[in-house]
Structure 1
Amino acid sequence: MTLDSDNTTHGGSGDHKIASEPLFVLPTGHTTGRKTGDAKSTGAPSPMADSEAAKLLAAALELISSLDQHDQFASAASTTAASIANWLSCPRVVLAWQPRPDSPLQICGDTATADSTTLLAAADEISARGSLTDSGSTDPSQRHSLMAVKQFAKAAACKRVLGVALQDRDQRGGALLLCYDRAISESQAATTLRCLDAVRVPLAGKLAAIDRNQPGRFRQWMLAWSDAKYHEKHKWLIAGIVLVGTLLCFPVTYHVAADCRLQPVLRRYVATPIDGPLEKVYVRPGDEVQSGDLLAKINSREINYQLAAKEADRERLAAKLKGQRARQEFAESTLTELELQSVQLEIDLLLHQRSHLEIRSPLSGMVVSGDLERSEGIPLRKGDTLMEIAPLTQMVVEISVPESELTHVESGMLARFQLYALPGQSLDATIGTVHPAAELIDNENVFVAEAVVEDSDGLLRPGMKGRVWVRSDKKTIAWIAFHRAYHAVRRSVGW
C-alpha cells in the first residue's frame, strides 16, 4: 500500500525537500525476530489490517504536516510523542534524538516521567540496531541485542516495548519507543511496527530539518516573549516585574541615619573667687539649682586674721599721723597719711573678699560635674574650677554624620532622634550648623551637625546617646537601596 505526497518541510531560514518518491511505503511484513513458523507474524496481512494501517498512516501524514507549524525542536518532539500516543492508543511514547552526529541521545519527547538511565540505554540499543524492535520477540538470536530494552521494560513495568530507529541524511540517529502497560495482540503489534517502519524515514527527515533550522537562543526568547500564550501564562510574573520596577522608580524621602549625643546648649564653670580653704559644699553633680542658690563656702578664718592685722596697722598709723600734725611735721605727716591710705585699701579688699566667701549659682540648671565633698578643708587658689552648671531647658544634639553622607545633610533639614535612655519617645529638631572640619569620634571620621531641642519635660540629660534620622532630599527607592553597594563597587575597582 502506497501514499504519495510532495511534502516540503519548512524550518527557520531554509526548506528541506523530503519527497520526490512516495512518502510512505507500507511494507507487507516486518522483521521482529519471530519464528518463521508463526502464522501471526508471517504472510500477507488481512484486509482489515490494511484498513487499520491506512488509518494510522493517514494520522501519521497529518502529524508530519502539523510539524510545519513548529520552529523549535523541543515543541516538535513533544507534539510527535503526544500525537503518536494518541492515534496508536499507547499509554507512553518516548522520542530520543541525537542533536549532533557525535553527541549522545537525549530524551526530547516523553508523555511520562523519564526512568533515569535505563530509558536512554534502551533508546541507544534501538538506535544501534537500526531496525524494528519488539521486546516480546522470542527469537533466540535477538536475546542479547534486546537486553537494554528488556531491562527498561522491567524497570518501567511495561508489558511490551516496541521501537524503531530514526536516522536522517546527516547520520544523526534517534529512536521512537512505544511502551505498553498492558498486553497487546500480535496483530496489533505487527500493524504498529509496520506503521512505525513506514513513517520513520519521513519523520526523521522532518525532525532533522526542524532541528537544523530552529532559531538561536536569543531569537527563541524573543519569539516566546511575543507569543500571546506566553504572555497569558506569565502575565502575573510580568505584572509583578512591572510593578516592582515602577516602585523602584518612585521617589521617597531619603533618611540619613547617624549616631547622636546630647550636650548642654550652654556651659558655665564656677571658679574659686579668692584663695582659701574650702569650708562646705552644698550640692553634688546631678542636683538642680536655681540662680543665686548657695553652692559652696570658703573658710573666712585667714581673711579675718589678715583683716584684724590691717585694722591694727590702720589705728597705729592714724595715731602717728595725729602726733605729727600736732608737732607740725608736715613732710613726715604726708608720708604717714599715704601709708594710712594704703592700709585702708587693703582693709577694703579684705572686706570685699569676706563678702564673697559664699559661692552661688550664676544661672538655673543642673550641676553637671564637680563632686567636692572629699575636698572640704583643702586650700584653694583663686580661679580653680569648682563645678560645671548647664541649663536644662535646651539641649544640643550633636549628630555624627558619616563622611559618605555629608553631601546629603544641610542646615535647615529636619531630624528625628530616639535616645537609648528613652526608647519609647521620639524627638524632633532642626539642624542649625554643620561643622566644616571632620572629627574623630569613636574611632570614626565624622562631621558633626548640631541641632537644638527643647526639653520642657526635663527628661534630657547631657551625655545621653541615641540614633537620629535626618530627612534629606527625595530619592528613588532604587537609589536608596543600591547606592551604597554601587559606590562600594566603584571604590573597590577604582572607577
Structure 2
Amino acid sequence: MAAPDSLPVDSAASPAAGVRMFEHLAALQARVLAADGFAPAACAFVTELAERLGCDRVSLGVRHRDAVELVAVSHGQPGANVANDRELASAMEETLANGVTVCVPDCDGPSRIAAAHSGLVRRFGGSACSIVLMHRGKAVGVICLERRGRNRFERAEIEQLEHLLCLVGPVLHLRWLDEQPLGARIAAAVRVWLALGKQGDGYIKRLGFAAALLLLALAALMPAPSYIGGRARVEGSVQRALVASLEGYLQAVHVRPGDRVTSGQLLVELADRDLRLEQRKLVGQLDQHENAYAHAIARGDRAQAVVHMARAAEAKAQLELVGSRLERVQIVAPFDGMVVAGDLSQSVGAPVELGAPLVTVASEERFRVIVRVDERDIAAIAPAREGSLALSALPWESLSIRVVRVSPIAVVADGENVFEVEAELLGTSGELRPGLQGVAKIEAGKRPLLASWSRRALDWARLTLWSWTGWP
C-alpha cells in the first residue's frame, strides 16, 4: 500500500467522510503551526493524532541519511530522549526500506517484509502501522502508530491517514528544516534542486551551475591568507659605493662587475703623474726654505729666519696634502665581497670628476630584499610580516622573507608610484647573488577569496564614484 505524495480525488467517498478528513487536517496543521519550535510541534502532532485515532502510542522519526532518528512520541515531553527504543527505530527503518506503508497484522492478507514490526507487536501486543512521510517525492520521515488489544487498523482508515499525512508531512519537514544549521539547509536545497534537474534535459547545466554557485559561495565566505606582491631584487646587506676622491684620469681598472674581491684588493687606479711632479716641486721648495732658514740663523737675521721658517712650514703642509692625495689615487676594496656595479674597462684614460661613482662592492655574507609595493597596497604592509620570494634565476625555489622596514617615501618606477619595502631573508641559498630579481609575496592577513580578487576593482570604482560625485 504505497504512501501517496498528493491527495487523490475519490468521487465515491461520501461528503461526510470528506468533511471529517478536512477537519482532521485542519486540526493537525493548527497544532503543528501553533507550536514554538520543531520539538513541541512534533510532540503536539503525534499526541493529537493518537487522540483522534484512538492509538496507544504514536511516534515520529526523521530520516537522517539511511537511518531514522526518533524525535517525538505521543503524550511525551517535547524534546524527550526517545532514541533508546531500538525496536521502534528498527520498525521505522524497515518502513523506509520498503518505501510503502507497513501494517502488522496486514489488513489485506500476508504482510510485506515486516520482521521488525512483528517484533514490536509481540512486545506490546495488538497491531502496528508505519506510514512514510513524503516531501517532493522523497521520504523524509516515518509515523508509527500502535494499538493494543484486538482493535486493528482497517484499510479505509489507513488510506485516509495516508491522505492526511501527505499534506501535513511537508509542513512538519519544513519546521524541522528551519532549525537545522545553515550548511545543512543549503545542502538540502541543492539536493532537491539537483533531483528536479534529473527529470529534464538540463541536468548537466544545472549541475555545472550548482558547482559554480558553490565555488562562488566558498570564495565569498571562506577566509584565506591574502598576499600582496611586487617586483623584488636581492642586494647585499652591506653595500659600499666607491667614488673618485680627486679629479683626474683613469689609469687602470682591475675588476669588473661580478668579480669577487678581498679586503684591501686594488680595484681602480687614477693617474698620478701630475701629483708626483707637484710632490717633487714641493720637496725642492721645502729644501730651499730650510736652507734659507739655516743661513738666516747663522747671520743672526731673526726676521729672515722667521719668514723662511713660515714658508718651510707651508711647503711641508702642501707636501703632506699631496701625499694624502697620492694615497687616494688607488681605490681598494673595503671588505670581502663582490663587485655589483661599475664596468670601467672601456673607460681607461677618460677623465673623472671629484665624487664620481666608480665601482660598487656588496657583501656576500648576508643579503636583503627590496620589494616594490604599489601605493594602493602599502597600507596592508607592516614590519614583521612574513612572505616568500621567487627569483627569476631560481623559479622552483621559494625563499622565506620577513619585512624589516617600510620606506615612508614613494618613488616612481616603470611609470607607477611605489614604496620600497626592505625585507630580510630567513633562509640561505648558496646560489644567491646580488642583483637577482624576481617576485615577492607578503602576507596581508586573512580575507575571503572573493574580497581579495575584487579589492582592486572595488577601490577603483569607489575612487571613480568619489571623483564624479564627491560621495564618500
Larger radius of gyration: 1
TM-score, normalised to structure 2's length? 0.50
TM-score, normalised to structure 1's length? 0.48
